[in-house]
Amino acid sequence: MKLLDLIQGLEYEVLQGEVDIEVCGIQNDSRKVGDKDLFFCITGSVSDGHSYASEVSSKGASVLIVEKAVAVDKAVTVIKVPSTRYAMGIISSRYYGEPSKHLTVIGITGTKGKTTTTYMIREMLASAGIGTGLIGTIEIIDGKETIPAKNTTPESIILHKHLKDMVDNGLKAVVMEVSSQGLMLDRVAGVDFDYGIFTNLSKDHIGPNEHSSFEEYKQWKAKLFSLCKVGIFNIDDKHVMDMQANCTCEIVTYSLEKDGDYKASELKLYTREGVLGIEYKLSGKISEDIMVDMPGEFTAHNSLAAIAVADLMKVPANKIKSILEDIKVRGRVELIPISDKFTILIDYAHNAMSLESLYTAIREYNPKRLVSLFGCGGNRSKDRRYEMGEVSGNMADLTIITSDNPRNEEPLAIIEDIKTGISKTHGKYIAIPDRKEAIRYAIMHAKEGDVVVLAGKGHEDYQEICGVKHHMDERDLIREILEEEDVTKICGYNNRYFA
């Protein structure tokens, strides 16, 4: 493809070389550069791509996109732009044939609920015969492959390649999580969004290498609504006006408390055969009785966002309703039905805020006991350990402290930090460092009416120890425990999950 076509419309300056030349590939990884490739010199938090200019030129790169001058052979074309990250998004989109214009693109931003809502939407669209890809925290689904995710929102050069693959694989839509980092770092530059969804906003991702303040975090979240055609907003959230302040999109709303375009009322919690769920009356643009086999008021909000997209995309109401009754999202209040007498679920809650939100929702079901099993990651802030210990001590009837991803720290040292937090409360706890043995204890000591939460790992299927990821999936651990134990001793054993 011609370089001139790739950079058309961008603000740029030719520092040296010609623009009427052919580009055979695009790269931002110096190790992958080949002959006649275009290389983006990205200034990152760890390294500066400009320092690889000479190396990639010697490997055959014929074009460099830079933010500052570099010393390379005169035969190499050097294009200076205000932001190489933004240019990478636009150029990548053009190189791959502007794939987002051939898909209905649904972007979801917010602090909580993004992952669950993406899966709800994908299942609804698929049920209506709309082949739909997914890009998110857990995985990328492109219509042929399922690829484990490295970032919630991939770098633009990777993102546009995945979108092209989706088009090539015959998909018609894609639903993707759009992180504040993804918006700030122009990872979605060049993406043509049809719908944007705002779930909610609370303090998160504030600190070194993230956002300097909540105001900045909020500002980047709001950017999505200057990029999409239709914005779908949770008007119950106190920050919704900030999200709408500079939006350029059509506005659609959903709510539990106000008169939104999609409104849930008469919410009721239910428990049956170890399943926690919520039901409500849907009104506004659709009138239906809705049931969702996932717990909590936040489930109602997430489902409303999904309903809004599905309805706007002409999915029949009966398909929307049936999908919500059976929806399961890996690692997000994921119920593991091994007993009719108690509930066991897996959730990704890995900080105090998400743990408190989850336990507040579960407490509304009046469990006999709330049993909290969690650990904390190594090489991370100790404050998180103290805070999670304190939340669990205050909200759970029993806390089982165990190991998460210790990384390069000693698991017992991490556990001691968690104990520091829990010691501020009157909560009962036990420490069992081996996660499988901790889960065994929780299952074998469960009582009728208990809700047992395995928190922190969620969708992850590994444990990271000293820089090495070892396979560890909590679903596998539960299955192994059931195979090893006399299941008649388990309260109300009824294995519907592993049958």
Predicted pLDDT of residue 497: 87
Predicted pLDDT of residue 44: 83
Name the pLDDT band for 216 (thresholds 50, 70, 90). confident
Q: Where are the beta strands (DSSP E) in 317-404?
A: 334-335, 343-347, 370-374, 398-401
What SS3 class is residue 18?
Answer: coil
Task: Confirm whether 176 is domain-assigned.
Answer: yes
The β-bridge relationship of strands 139-141 and 132-135 is antiparallel
Mean pLDDT of 419-446: 98
Task: Confirm whether 494 is domain-assigned.
Answer: no
Residues 435 and 420 occupy one common structural domain? yes
Nearby residues of 10 by Cβ (< 8 Å), 6 or more positions away: 81, 87, 90, 91
Residue 376 has pLDDT above 60, yes or no: yes
Least confident of 123-127, 262-266, 304-308: 123-127
Residue 462 has pLDDT above 80, yes or no: yes
Instruction: Tell me the pLDDT tens digit for each residue of 229-238.
Output: 999 999 999 9
Residue 422 has pLDDT above 80, yes or no: yes
User: Using a CB cutoff of 8 Å and minimum separation of 24, what contacts does 20-26 make?
Assistant: 21/62, 21/63, 21/77, 23/62, 23/63, 23/95, 26/91, 26/92, 26/95, 26/157
Q: Give the CATH number of the domain where residue 69 resides.
A: 3.40.1390.10
Q: Give the CATH number of the domain where residue 386 resides.
A: 3.90.190.20
Residue 215 has pLDDT above 90, yes or no: no
- If one counts every other C-beta atom within 10 angstroms of the C-beta of residue 314, the result is 8
Residue 147 has pLDDT above 90, yes or no: yes
Name the pLDDT band for 268 (thresholds 50, 70, 90). very high
Task: Confirm whether 498 is domain-assigned.
Answer: no
Domain boundary among 305, 326, 347: 326
| pTM over 0.95, yes/no | no
Mean pLDDT of 379-393: 95
Residues 16 and 57 occupy one common structural domain? yes
> How would you class 345 by CB atoms within 10 Å of its CB: exposed for 0-12, middle for 13-18, buried for 19 or more?
buried
How much of the chain, in percent, has pLDDT values that exceed 70?
98
Predicted pLDDT of residue 74: 95
Instruction: Tell me the pLDDT tens digit for each residue of 4-20.
Output: 999 999 999 999 999 99
Task: Confirm whether 464 is domain-assigned.
Answer: yes
- Give CA angle at 486 (484, 490), nearest 5°: 110
**Rounded distance, CA 12 to CA 78, Å?**
10
Residues 123 and 80 occupy one common structural domain? no
Domain boundary among 95, 125, 156: 95
**Where is 276: in which H helix or E strand?**
strand 275-284
Name the pLDDT band for 46 (thresholds 50, 70, 90). confident
Residues 345 and 322 occupy one common structural domain? no
Residues 38 and 115 occupy one common structural domain? no
Q: Please report how many Cα atoms fall inside a 13 Å half-sphere around the Cα of residue 119, on the Cβ side.
A: 16
Domain boundary among 279, 301, 326: 326
Please tell me the total count of domains within the chain: 3
Task: Confirm whether 86 is domain-assigned.
Answer: yes
Residues 347 and 428 occupy one common structural domain? yes
Nearby residues of 270 by Cβ (< 8 Å), 6 or more positions away: 276, 277, 278, 279, 291
For residue 177, list its beta bridge partners.
Answer: 108
Residue 204 has pLDDT above 60, yes or no: no
- If one counts every other C-beta atom within 10 angstroms of the C-beta of residue 467, the result is 7
Residues 318 and 385 occupy one common structural domain? no
Instruction: Tell me the pLDDT tens digit for each residue of 99-110.
Output: 999 999 999 999
Name the pLDDT band for 202 (thresholds 50, 70, 90). confident
Predicted pLDDT of residue 212: 62
Predicted pLDDT of residue 209: 60
Predicted pLDDT of residue 206: 53
Task: Confirm whether 499 is domain-assigned.
Answer: no
Residues 421 and 300 occupy one common structural domain? no
Residue 207 has pLDDT above 60, yes or no: no
Residues 90 and 111 occupy one common structural domain? no
DSSP line for 403-465 = -S--BTS-HHHHHHHHHHHHTTS--EEEE--SHHHHHHHHHHT--TT-EEEEES-TT--EEEE
Residues 125 and 241 occupy one common structural domain? yes
Predicted pLDDT of residue 210: 63
Task: Confirm whether 16 is domain-assigned.
Answer: yes
Amino acid (1-letter code) at residue 202: S
In which order are the strands placed within the sheet that holds 13-16? 13-16, 77-80, 63-66, 37-40, 25-27
Task: Confirm whether 495 is domain-assigned.
Answer: no
Q: Give the CATH number of the domain where residue 124 resides.
A: 3.40.1190.10
**Rounded distance, CA 198 to CA 244, Å?**
10
- If one counts every other C-beta atom within 10 angstroms of the C-beta of residue 414, the result is 26
Q: Are 38 and 65 in contact (CB under 8 A)?
A: yes
Instruction: Tell me the pLDDT tens digit for each residue of 327-372.
Output: 888 999 999 999 999 999 999 999 998 999 999 999 999 999 999 9
Residues 306 and 382 occupy one common structural domain? no
Mean pLDDT of 27-34: 96
Mean pLDDT of all residues in the chain? Answer: 95
Name the pLDDT band for 496 (thresholds 50, 70, 90). confident
Residues 107 and 240 occupy one common structural domain? yes
Please give the residue range of the domain that contains residue 75: 3-95
